[in-house]
Structure 1
Amino acid sequence: MAKEPFDVELDLRFSREGASAAPWSEGRRLLAEAELYWLTTLRPDGRPHTTPLVAVWHADRMYFCSGPGERKVGNLSGDSRCILMTGCNRLRSGLDIVLEGDAVRVTDDAELGRVAEVYRAKYSEEWHFKVRDGAFHGMVGETWVYALAPVTVFGFGKDEFSQTRWRFAA
């Protein structure tokens, strides 16, 4: 059974009169179906670092991967707080999603195996990974996997101009 938010709020300050809160089922669907995401992490000096990546929704969490020497991995080793975003890049339609939480490295080979299957099913054989020693191994060598459980998720509805906030238990 899917994890549901404990609080759903329509922020009237940033919503048109008569707007309604977007259902979490729609936010979750967009997180699962999007092809491209933007991850923002914090550099050691506090400056933000944003990069595009692919990711998958599985077991009520977003999973993304990165090479061990990449900037985002270095950032996450010092501060696990991050934001993952996706949306439609249209001004007057769609729902943009901003997910806030803490990214945790996944090293359990059984969990990694399940996540690797979700990647392959979503992105095709191009994103086929072998799992060993707590990491993915594929087209670019060793890749570390992170799980990002939502703490707070914002949905910016552009059809009726609305801002929904979904909050989850830690």
Structure 2
Amino acid sequence: MEGRTAPLADGGRLWALTRAHVVTYGREWHFDVRDGGVPWPGGRAEVFRVPPDTAPRFDKGRNAQTRWVFG
């Protein structure tokens, strides 16, 4: 994927992301959301999203690569 990073500070989207993380990796990987970020020892971890501009695909064989452009 290629795209420009953008900070993700929306509390609702951050909570959805942390819930999905727990479902995938287990309760020991639970993160809290506070002030538009994730509290982390020594400060705060910021979360970024990458809306896709393009996505390459490569495969074995003849003519086996392509690129999708979004937007």
TM-score by length of structure 1 reads: 0.37
Match of 2:7 among 94, 105, 111: 105
Instruction: Give the 3-state SS of the residue equivalent to 1:149 in structure 2.
Output: coil
- Residues 5-44 of structure 1: pairs in structure 2 closer than 5 A: none
Note the residue ranges of structure 2 that are not aligned, 5 or more in a row: none
Q: Distance in 2 between matches of 1:141 and 1:129?
A: 14
Match of 2:37 in 1: 135
SS of equivalent to 1:164 = strand
What secondary structure does 1:117 align onto? helix
Equivalent residues, number:
70
Ranges of 4+ aligned residues in structure 1 off by more than 4 Å: 138-141
Q: Percent identity?
A: 34
C-alpha displacement of 1:117: 1.2
Q: Does 1:165 align with 2:61?
A: no
Which is worse superposed, 129-138 or 119-128? 119-128
Of structures 1 and 2, the one with the larger relative CO (CA 8 A, separation 6+) is: 2
Partner of 1:121: 23
- 1:106 CA drift (Å): 0.8
Q: Which moved more, 1:148-157 or 1:118-127?
A: 118-127
* TM-score for both structures, normalised by structure 2: 0.81
